[in-house]
């Protein structure tokens, strides 16, 4: 458990700095910018899932009323080096999914832009779409990309399998031979979307000197800058990106779609160009997560000790390589000590949108498979599912399947807390089922910078570059207040644009509170060092004779000086006499992002007449390392749980035979609503991450990992048989019940 630090700010639950703007409608999101003379851009999207583009004729569109610019793939020659990214932003030779951008126009009104899209003439040679993993991986499959060879090996024929991954340990056959019980399961989970409520939006203004400013909603404006520059063939320094408030992302806003089109058309017209996606565009043409096909096998001795396990994963990449097979493989057995294992992943092209990150990308699907198999194993061994997991739980010193040895981790603590949780010791409600599963995410560090400025009255301004997607400005301000020894109210945290603050990688990988937080702490330590030096100068002492206690410079114990303590405000006010303004900074590439484990359990009840599954209760226990602002940690756990429940119960991309998504709207792609859900009970475990000054682990992604299997296992518990595939939507559940009834 986390050592008992004497913390004053950290662990409290103040109102977030940006809160008032967000409850009054003042906060400006991606689509909220209106500039004078602004044009409206719109995208023409492919009506085919797979086709060769023979020609694109923009002549009539360009001549249409109100239209000032029209572009197609040919207008982006500079993007040759940007490869797949550029081809995803706007198609060149082929369209690879229904909804793939083919051309764009900018006009004085939205209506004019929309009308002009109808005047663009595109000649397609329609090809067969590849819509499933089975089809894509079959011998003689139609190729999504004729020059794609598995792992770049051109000695073999071209393949839709873009890449493979393999982890291996011990002797798998010998391990299974040692087992008293072996379970094998196979699962399919369709493509699903992050479902952020704010569609992608941007506004670009290009100046006559070639410099462009992009305002957009993104999880990483520095990435938008570099990616947009790549696609345009521009210098990074010519593009400034201002991040708006962001209305959800969950990984889906870590790349670009509209930005290069808007900049290009602004350059062509000398006027600002605003582009927003419709909800339908968001579903059809942004990056959901992979549909998957996973096989899990696990063996154990009678006492529950795992002897061997294997996982085979095939993930849809969509139109371009990049399915999250790496994290899928890393996660699938990470919670356990397994002496013999083989984990294989396949990154497979299909004619669907190019997948993007989605909250713990790849882990929910692979762990759904293995956690389902482990649930069956517990049944066969007649063991409590938590006890079986505890018996094999990874702990400090366990070598993860992907290589490193875990430092302090909190899996056992989560399992033990779940075991004694009142929701677990309570009996399963009459007629219902209970399911347990474990979640994991490794978390990442990466690059961050932060600056801390002190105003003459001691007001602290934290400047950093990690877009605040769920309250991170509050956690930055709390860590700054804690480090400096000042009240939270004295600190304001801001997210700067690409020219007003130092580089930060995307808000993703659950890295912000960990890595950017570490930079903020270090920048505050820089301020403290400067304050001690200024105080020493003021008091005519050596720096080593000054201490910083509770927000004030004081002489160290034993130093003979008859002086009054100097507060941050005192030192800032006199800064002109001691060397100039107080400005602290730090930049780092954070190492040691601690993995976050969870244990979730849920009680569900299936209406066997309709196939509808109701969630009666859901309990999430997770290791946060240290909860800086516990309400927002709980919020991550609750939100991730509900996203995972939605994925387990309803969410899926449904395609027709031509590769057209049939449910590209919130009416038919049904995410959970308030009346679907119970309260989500949370318990935060704090096993400090030794690599963060306050022990922080990322918490944002782990919460979505376990719910898929927890819900599956609960439904299995009630029905007495397993429905291996997701979602457990009424039609699928009803069909399974009918089939079982027929046996």
Partner 1 sequence: MSKQHVSTTINGDEVEFLCEPHQSLLEVLRDELGLTGTKEGCATGDCGACSVMIDGRLVCSCLMLGVEAQGVEVTTIEGIAGADGLHVIQQKYLEHAALQCGICTPGFIVATKALLDRNPDPDETTIRYWLAGNLCRCTGYDKIVRAVQDAAQNLAYEA
What are the structure tokens assigned to 520, written together?
A: 């903020």
Nearer to partner 1, 103 or 680 (CB): 680
Nearer to partner 1, 234 or 281 (CB): 281
CA–CA dist 737, 250 (Å, integer): 34
Backbone angles phi and psi of 440, in degrees to 5:
-155, 145
CA–CA dist 531, 191 (Å, integer): 54
Please report whether residue 17 would count as binding partner 1 according to CB under 8 A. no
Nearer to partner 1, 180 or 676 (CB): 676
The residue count for binding partner 1 (CB under 8 A) is 60
Which residue among 2, 9, 10, 16 contacts partner 1 (CB under 8 A)?
A: 16
| Coil, helix or strand at residue 424 | helix
Shortest Å distance, C-beta 112 to partner 1: 12
CA–CA dist 680, 666 (Å, integer): 23
Please report whether residue 65 would count as binding partner 1 according to CB under 8 A. no
What are the structure tokens assigned to 525, written together?
A: 């330590």
In the region spanning residues 68 to 127, those forming contacts with partner 1, defined by CB under 8 A, are 111
Q: One symbol per residue from 611 to 630: x for binding partner 1 (CB under 8 A), - otherwise; what is it?
A: ------------------x-
Q: Which residue has the tokens 């003439």?
A: 121
CA neighbours closer than 13 Å in the CB half-sphere of residue 721:
11
Please report whether residue 654 would count as binding partner 1 according to CB under 8 A. no
Please report whether residue 287 would count as binding partner 1 according to CB under 8 A. no
Please report whether residue 235 would count as binding partner 1 according to CB under 8 A. no
Nearer to partner 1, 246 or 708 (CB): 246
Q: One symbol per residue from 337 to 356: x for binding partner 1 (CB under 8 A), - otherwise; what is it?
A: --------------------
Nearer to partner 1, 496 or 640 (CB): 640
Choices 85-93, 275-283, 648-656, 685-693 (CB under 8 A): range interacting with partner 1: 275-283
Choices 47-55, 203-211, 365-373, 641-649 (CB under 8 A): range interacting with partner 1: 641-649
| Coil, helix or strand at residue 126 | strand
| Coil, helix or strand at residue 143 | coil
CA–CA dist 58, 457 (Å, integer): 59
Shortest Å distance, C-beta 19 to partner 1: 5
Please report whether residue 245 would count as binding partner 1 according to CB under 8 A. yes
Which residue among 220, 288, 458, 470 contacts partner 1 (CB under 8 A)?
A: 470
In the region spanning residues 658 to 717, those forming contacts with partner 1, defined by CB under 8 A, are 665-667, 671-677, 679-680
Closest CA to 89 of 319, 290, 271, 270: 319
| 206 C-beta neighbours (distance < 10 Å), count | 25
Taking phi over 0 as left and psi of -120 to 50 as alpha, with beta for the rest, 172 belongs to alpha
Closest CA to 410 of 695, 655, 741: 695
Nearer to partner 1, 26 or 52 (CB): 26
In the region spanning residues 199 to 218, those forming contacts with partner 1, defined by CB under 8 A, are 199
Question: DSSP label at 633?
Answer: H
Shortest Å distance, C-beta 625 to partner 1: 19
Question: 536 with 543: CB under 8 angstroms?
Answer: yes
Which residue among 246, 313, 481, 515 contacts partner 1 (CB under 8 A)?
A: 246
Nearer to partner 1, 194 or 466 (CB): 194
Choices 45-53, 192-200, 428-436, 709-717 (CB under 8 A): range interacting with partner 1: 192-200
Please report whether residue 279 would count as binding partner 1 according to CB under 8 A. yes
Which residue among 632, 647, 655, 691 contacts partner 1 (CB under 8 A)?
A: 632
CA-based angle 471:472:473, to the nearest 5?
95
Choices 25-33, 361-369, 387-395, 551-559 (CB under 8 A): range interacting with partner 1: 25-33
Question: 428 with 443: CB under 8 angstroms?
Answer: no
Shortest Å distance, C-beta 202 to partner 1: 15
Closest CA to 658 of 148, 188, 124, 92: 124
Question: 296 with 280: CB under 8 angstroms?
Answer: no
Which residue among 278, 305, 608, 658 contacts partner 1 (CB under 8 A)?
A: 278
Judging by DSSP bridges, how do beta strands 546-549 and 121-126 pair with one another?
Answer: unpaired
The distance from CA 442 to its chain's CA centroid, rounded to whole angstroms, is 12
Please report whether residue 220 would count as binding partner 1 according to CB under 8 A. no
What are the structure tokens assigned to 286, written together?
A: 């942004």
CA–CA dist 697, 442 (Å, integer): 9
Please report whether residue 638 would count as binding partner 1 according to CB under 8 A. yes
Please report whether residue 250 would count as binding partner 1 according to CB under 8 A. yes
Please report whether residue 469 would count as binding partner 1 according to CB under 8 A. yes
Please report whether residue 364 would count as binding partner 1 according to CB under 8 A. no
Task: For the chain, state the CA radius of gyration.
Answer: 27
- Residue 277: partners with Cβ closer than 8 Å, 6 or more residues away: 199, 200, 201, 257, 258, 285, 286
Shortest Å distance, C-beta 193 to partner 1: 10
Question: 541 with 555: CB under 8 angstroms?
Answer: yes
Please report whether residue 634 would count as binding partner 1 according to CB under 8 A. yes
Please report whether residue 24 would count as binding partner 1 according to CB under 8 A. yes
Shortest Å distance, C-beta 15 to partner 1: 5
Choices 122-130, 196-204, 254-262, 587-595 (CB under 8 A): range interacting with partner 1: 196-204
- Residue 538: partners with Cβ closer than 8 Å, 6 or more residues away: 563, 566, 571, 574, 578
Nearer to partner 1, 180 or 683 (CB): 683
CA–CA dist 347, 345 (Å, integer): 7
Please report whether residue 13 would count as binding partner 1 according to CB under 8 A. yes
Question: 654 with 731: CB under 8 angstroms?
Answer: no
Nearer to partner 1, 420 or 679 (CB): 679
Nearer to partner 1, 194 or 483 (CB): 194
Shortest Å distance, C-beta 110 to partner 1: 8
Which residue among 23, 63, 74, 173 contacts partner 1 (CB under 8 A)?
A: 23
Which residue among 9, 10, 18, 172 contacts partner 1 (CB under 8 A)?
A: 18
| 80 C-beta neighbours (distance < 10 Å), count | 12
Shortest Å distance, C-beta 188 to partner 1: 24
Question: 292 with 192: CB under 8 angstroms?
Answer: no
3-state secondary structure 190-247: CCECCCCCCCCEEEEEECCCCCEEEEECCCCHHHHHHHHHHHHCCCHHHEEEEECECC
The residues that touch partner 1, with contacts defined as CB under 8 A, are: 13, 15-16, 18-20, 22-29, 31-32, 34, 111, 194-199, 245-250, 276, 278-279, 469-471, 629, 631-632, 634-636, 638-643, 665-667, 671-677, 679-680
């Amino acid at each position: 458990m986390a050592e008992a630090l004497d913390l004053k700010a950290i662990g409290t639950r103040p109102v977030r700095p940006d809160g008032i703007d967000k409850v009054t409608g003042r906060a400006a999101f991606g689509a909220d910018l209106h500039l004078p003379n602004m044009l409206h851009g719109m995208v023409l999207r492919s009506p085919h899932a797979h086709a060769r583009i023979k020609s694109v004729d923009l002549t009539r569109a360009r001549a249409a009323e109100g239209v000032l610019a029209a572009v197609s793939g040919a207008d982006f020659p500079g993007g040759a080096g940007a490869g797949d990214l550029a081809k995803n932003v706007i198609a060149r030779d082929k369209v690879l999914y229904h909804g793939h951008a083919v051309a764009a126009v900018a006009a004085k009104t939205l209506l004019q832009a929309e009308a002009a899209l109808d005047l663009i003439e595109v000649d397609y040679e329609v090809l067969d779409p590849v819509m499933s993993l089975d089809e894509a991986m079959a011998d003689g499959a139609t190729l999504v990309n004729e020059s794609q060879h598995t792992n770049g090996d051109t000695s073999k024929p071209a393949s839709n399998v873009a890449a493979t991954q393999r982890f291996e340990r011990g002797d798998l056959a010998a391990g299974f031979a040692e087992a008293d019980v072996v379970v094998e399961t196979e699962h399919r989970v369709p493509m699903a979307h992050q479902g952020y409520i704010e569609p992608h939006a941007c506004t670009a203004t290009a100046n006559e000197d070639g410099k462009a400013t992009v305002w957009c909603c993104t999880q990483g404006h520095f990435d938008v800058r570099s990616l947009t520059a790549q696609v345009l063939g521009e210098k990074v320094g010519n593009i400034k990106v201002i991040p708006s408030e962001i209305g959800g992302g969950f990984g889906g806003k870590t790349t670009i779609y509209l930005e290069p089109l808007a900049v290009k058309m602004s350059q062509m017209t000398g006027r600002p160009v605003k582009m927003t996606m419709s909800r339908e565009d968001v579903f059809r043409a942004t990056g959901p997560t992979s549909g998957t096909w996973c096989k899990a096998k696990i063996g154990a001795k009678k006492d529950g000790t795992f002897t061997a396990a294997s996982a085979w994963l095939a993930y849809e990449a969509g139109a371009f390589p990049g399915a999250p097979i790496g994290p899928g493989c890393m996660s699938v057995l990470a919670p356990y000590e397994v002496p013999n294992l083989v984990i294989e992943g396949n990154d497979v092209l299909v004619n669907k949108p190019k997948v993007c990150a989605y909250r713990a990308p790849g882990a929910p699907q692979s762990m759904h498979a293995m956690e389902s198999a482990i649930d069956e194993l517990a049944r066969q061994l007649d063991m409590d599912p938590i006890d079986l997991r505890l018996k094999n739980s990874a702990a400090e010193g366990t070598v993860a399947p992907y290589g490193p040895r875990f430092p302090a981790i909190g899996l056992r603590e989560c399992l033990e807390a779940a075991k004694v949780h009142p929701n677990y010791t309570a009996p399963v409600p009459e007629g219902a089922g209970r399911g347990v599963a474990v979640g994991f995410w490794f978390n990442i560090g990466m690059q961050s910078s932060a600056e801390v400025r002190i105003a003459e009255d001691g007001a602290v301004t934290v400047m950093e570059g990690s877009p605040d997607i769920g309250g991170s400005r509050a956690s930055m301000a709390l860590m700054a207040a804690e480090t400096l020894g000042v009240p939270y109210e004295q600190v304001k945290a801001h997210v700067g644009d690409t020219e007003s603050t130092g580089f930060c990688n995307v808000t993703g990988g659950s890295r912000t509170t960990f890595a950017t937080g570490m930079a903020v702490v270090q920048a505050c330590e820089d301020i403290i060092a400067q304050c001690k030096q200024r105080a020493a100068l003021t008091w005519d002492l050596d720096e080593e004779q000054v201490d910083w206690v509770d927000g004030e410079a004081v002489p160290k114990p034993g130093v003979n000086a008859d002086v009054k303590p100097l507060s941050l405000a005192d030192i800032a006010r006199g800064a002109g006499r001691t060397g100039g303004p107080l400005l602290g900074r730090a930049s780092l590439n954070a190492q040691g992002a601690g993995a976050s484990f969870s244990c979730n359990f849920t009680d569900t009840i299936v209406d066997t007449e309709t196939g509808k599954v109701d969630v009666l209760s859901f309990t999430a226990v997770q290791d946060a390392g240290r909860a800086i602002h516990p309400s927002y940690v709980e919020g991550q756990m609750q939100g991730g749980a509900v996203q995972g429940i939605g994925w387990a119960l309803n969410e899926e991309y449904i395609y027709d035979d031509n590769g057209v998504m049939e449910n590209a709207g919130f009416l038919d792609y049904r995410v959970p609503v308030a009346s679907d859900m119970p309260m989500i009970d949370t318990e935060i475990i704090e096993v400090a991450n030794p690599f963060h000054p306050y022990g922080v682990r990322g918490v944002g992604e782990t919460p979505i990992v376990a719910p898929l299997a927890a819900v599956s296992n609960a439904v299995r518990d009630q029905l007495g048989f397993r429905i291996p595939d997701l979602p457990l939507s009424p039609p699928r559940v009803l069909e399974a019940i009918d089939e079982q009834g027929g046996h």
